[in-house]
Amino acid sequence: MMPDLDGFEVCRQLKQNLQTHDIPIIFLTARVEQEDIIKGFELGAVDYVTKPFNHKELISRVRTHIELKAAREALALKIEELQQANITKEKLLSIISHDLVNLFNSLMNFSLLLTESEELSVEQQNKYLLMISQSSNQGYHLLKNLLDWLRNQTGKIQVIPVSVNLKWLIERNIEFLSSQAKNKNITLCSTVESATTVFADQNMLDTVIRNLLANAIKFTPNFGKVEITSQQQASMMELSVLDTGIGIKPEDIQRIFQGRYYTTMGTGNEKGTGIGLNLCKEFVEKNGGNIGVESEIGKGSRFYVHLPLPT
């Protein structure tokens, strides 16, 4: 009954505004016509009290609606958690049933070829041994990612930052990925100096470096180059993984860190799971840093990570 702006209009405007949309609205009014009451509910009101009113009753109704709202929100949160748990379970099942089973198949087949076939040339033996070495490395990388991802999803991961020597960690990963790079004739190198240190959780940083290097190799064609460099910037250390690979389209850059398991095949038809970069982003951010990428189609990509320095 107010002039200019009546209660119905106030309700409509509050419901349209994202910031006030969820506030439960109770109409307190002298209008007792059924049509008005229905109109109020249709506009999104949760209750309707007519004048003259009883203070205690009104306060009880307000309390009830606040409790109802809190219960509804808690329920929505639970539903979201359950949906996330379901997605995690499905993803886990798909990785175990496809990726891990395939890797074991290839390990078994090449081992069988080596042990059962007579008169294998040294060249063939070396080829099968390289396949076994590659499959076991891929399996290890996949299992490590899977465990990190599961621990992270279930909130069972602790960040223990220490002073980490980057050169040492990078060289360990270069050695681990050398057979993958060799198989594609990719030059894999680091220009990080021996005294370069950051303040981060060593296991998490290991996962980040391994994933960025493995991706760079995976998305670079034969005879390309993958290089890892570092540069100190104010209070942070910038670590870059540069490749001469296929690059990423601008619209896909938005998607790769988003946690929706976006994945494409590598240049040698290598399969992926889409969990690597999500893990990298989570781990870098948990250590007070940030991650990003610059890329040009057909030329290559530079994934960069900024991490705090030891104090």
Q: Could you say which of 248, 284, 291, 307 contacts ligand ADP (CB under 6 A)?
A: 248
Give the nearest distance from C-beta 63 to ligand ADP in angstroms. Answer: 48
Q: Measured from the CB atom, is 218 or 306 closer to ligand ADP? A: 218
Residue 256 as a binder of ligand ADP (CB under 6 A): the answer is: yes
Q: Measured from the CB atom, is 193 or 296 closer to ligand ADP? A: 296
Torsion on CA atoms 102, 105, 111, 113, rounded to nearest 10: -110
Residue 219 as a binder of ligand ADP (CB under 6 A): the answer is: yes
Two structure tokens written together for 131:
């396949």
Residue 95 as a binder of ligand ADP (CB under 6 A): the answer is: no
**C-alpha dihedral sign at 132, 137, 142, 144:** positive
Residue 263 as a binder of ligand ADP (CB under 6 A): the answer is: yes
CA–CA distance, 7 with 41 (Å, rounded to integer) = 12
Give the nearest distance from C-beta 31 to ligand ADP in angstroms. Answer: 58
Give the nearest distance from C-beta 182 to ligand ADP in angstroms. Answer: 18
Residue 205 as a binder of ligand ADP (CB under 6 A): the answer is: no
Q: Measured from the CB atom, is 188 or 248 closer to ligand ADP? A: 248
Residue 61 contacts residue 49 (beta carbons within 8 Å)? yes
Residue 144: which residues within 8 A CB-CB, separation 6 or more?
207, 210
Binding piece for ligand ADP, criterion CB under 6 A, among 181-189, 197-205, 228-236, 256-264 = 256-264
CA–CA distance, 305 with 39 (Å, rounded to integer) = 55
Residue 252: which residues within 8 A CB-CB, separation 6 or more?
262
Residue 223: which residues within 8 A CB-CB, separation 6 or more?
184, 185, 186
Residue 215 as a binder of ligand ADP (CB under 6 A): the answer is: yes
Amino acid at 154: T
DSSP 58-76: HHHHHHHHHHHHHHHHHHH
Residue 264 as a binder of ligand ADP (CB under 6 A): the answer is: yes
Give the nearest distance from C-beta 263 to ligand ADP in angstroms. Answer: 3
Q: Could you say which of 45, 177, 205, 216 contacts ligand ADP (CB under 6 A)?
A: 216
3-class state of residue 180 by DSSP: helix
Give the nearest distance from C-beta 6 to ligand ADP in angstroms. Answer: 54
Q: Which residue is nearest to ligand ADP (CB)?
A: 272
Summarize as ranges the residues that interact with ligand ADP (CB under 6 A). 211, 215-216, 219, 243, 245-246, 248, 256, 262-264, 272-278, 301
